[in-house]
Amino acid sequence: MSVLVIGAGLAGSEAAYVLAEHGEEVLLADMKPKLSPAHRSENFCELVCSNSLKSDDVFGNACGLLKEEMRRLGSLTMRAAEASRVPAGGALAVDRDKFSGYVTAAIKAHPNITVLSKEVTSLPEEGIVATGPLTAGPLFADIQKKFGTLHFFDASAPIVSAESIDFSRTFSQDRYGKGEGDYLNCPMTAEEYNAFWDALTTADRATLHDFEKGEIFEGCMPVEVMASRGRDTLRYGPFKPVGLKVEGVRPYAVLQLRKENAAGTSYGLVGCQTNLKFSEQKRVFGMIPALKDAEFLRYGVMHRNTYLQSPACLNADFSAKKSPRLFFAGQITGVEGYVESAAVGLLAGYHVLRRLHQKPTLVPPSTTVLGALSRYIATPVEDFSPMNANYGILAEGFGGIRDKKKRREQLALRALAEMDRFSAIYR
């Protein structure tokens, strides 16, 4: 009996290849050669740019660490990236055509994989759904009917590390004294706010696909678009100082930060959904005094993105709570980024493999990036949104090491040791 995998993007290809390499017959269904609005080639696993796989720094970048964890699990994506690599300093940049060509050839040449060029219109009872952020049509409707509302777009604000915030330029207080000090406030003077506003309204924005523009901006207004409606618009909106005082005086404007996890290691910028380029986000939000030296764990994004409210419907092994033989993989689960999507597909393949052989499911430890992402998508949260690889979601344990570089090295060494133990069981 063949295992059905729907979608031959990074997640689906990783899952299919893992299963096939372990002797399982796989039926990989994909709509190509029919193309979606975001696709340009009939090959699988298209990347939008050469540096889509981001940093390759294992000991200083969470995405670099995730890639090394994937290598230790036998990732097809990582082999393709190495075979198509181009010089780019510390980044894992690739020749996009060679990369997708490598994966496509490996998939089509595998004796245990049968590629079915067909658009699947309904959910199967079992298998892996890896249809990505542009899932649409009858399949979208069927997923939504069975698993609840899907998000049509991803509009999220930046997240910064707590240790990089200048707490001497903040104060903890909820508006009008309501609550228990859940918000960290970053006050600005009139001069600071006006300089920030000038930079925000003139900063470079990321380019959206034509098919995304109306849908996204009707659903959620980027902070830079809101600001462009008038110099004081933010001061009457997300940056309003009303109900807040510092030593009895109301600030001119206030950016509020909210904890992103129980440990308080990361904070989100409230009301700052943005479509600015990543470099511009760092520059512009860095003009807020408390964020002068902020480290961005996740930049704000705004693009078409279909994803499940995973904490309500998925387990940490990506199986559906209502249908335990049905798994989801990739960006539809609520992870953000090419590498993260591929990683989830790789792990989903192993989970299905163990399920087929009636072995207990094992989720990687939360001290690994893969394990932390697995738990993130399954942990109940008030406002779930997609997450990329970052140190803020990793289980801590080296708080006594003050030097950030050394602490991250220890986090990476621990993660890789745990992944070696984990891969010895799963591979």
Find the range with the poorest average confidence among 34-48, 73-87, 148-162: 34-48
Mention every residue, 6+ apart, whose C-beta is less than 8 A from residue 391: 62, 161, 265, 297, 408, 411
Answer yes or no: is pLDDT of 153 > 80: no
Whether 316 and 366 have beta carbons less than 8 Å apart is answered as no
* Per-residue model confidence (pLDDT) at position 32: 73
Average pLDDT of the chain, as a whole number:
88
End-to-end CA distance of the chain: 21
pLDDT at 33 over 70: no
pLDDT value of residue 218: 46
Mean per-residue pLDDT, 4-30:
97
* Mean pLDDT for the stretch of residues 175-198: 86
pLDDT at 87 over 70: yes
Q: C-alpha dihedral over 274, 161, 329, 70, to 10 degrees?
A: 130
Q: Which of 105-114, 152-161, 195-204 has the lowest mean pLDDT?
A: 152-161
Give the pair of three-digit tokens for residue 131: 């249809």
Task: Look at residue 425 in the predicted model and tell me its pLDDT.
Answer: 83
Q: Which residues of the chain are in CATH 3.50.50.60 domains?
A: 3-150+308-426
Q: Is the pLDDT of residue 62 over 60?
A: yes
- On whether the CB atoms of residues 329 and 421 are closer than 8 A, the answer is no
Token match 């240790």: residue? 163
Give the model confidence (pLDDT) of 259-280 as tens digits.
877 678 888 898 898 989 999 9
Q: Write the single-letter amino acid at 227.
A: A
Question: Two tokens at 217?
Answer: 């901006």
State the pLDDT at residue 38. 53
Q: Check residue 385 and give its pLDDT.
A: 84
pLDDT score of 217: 47
Kindly tell me if the per-residue pLDDT of 348 is higher than 60.
yes
pLDDT of 88 > 90? The answer is no
Q: Which of 310, 299, 256, 254 is nearest to 156 (CA)?
A: 299
pLDDT band at 48 (very low <50, low <70, confident <90, very high): low
CATH 2.40.30 residue ranges of the chain are: 159-299
Domain spanning 3-150+308-426, CATH class: alpha beta
pLDDT band, very low/low/confident/very high, at 31 (cuts 50, 70, 90): confident
Say what percent of the chain tops pLDDT 70. Answer: 90
**Average pLDDT of the segment spanning 184-193:** 96
Average of per-residue pLDDT across 120-135: 91
pLDDT digits (tens, 9 = 90+) for 207-220: 765 555 555 544 46
Among 1.20.1730, 3.30.450, 2.40.30, 3.30.870, what is the CATH number of 159-299?
Answer: 2.40.30
> Which of 51-60, 299-308, 314-323 is modeled with the greatest confidence?
314-323
User: Is pLDDT above 80 for 228?
Assistant: yes
> How does residue 93 score in pLDDT terms, banded at 50, 70 and 90?
confident
Residue 174's pLDDT band, with cuts at 50, 70 and 90, is confident
Cut 0.85: pTM above it: no
Question: Which range among 40-44, 221-225, 311-315 shows the weakest confidence by mean pLDDT?
Answer: 40-44
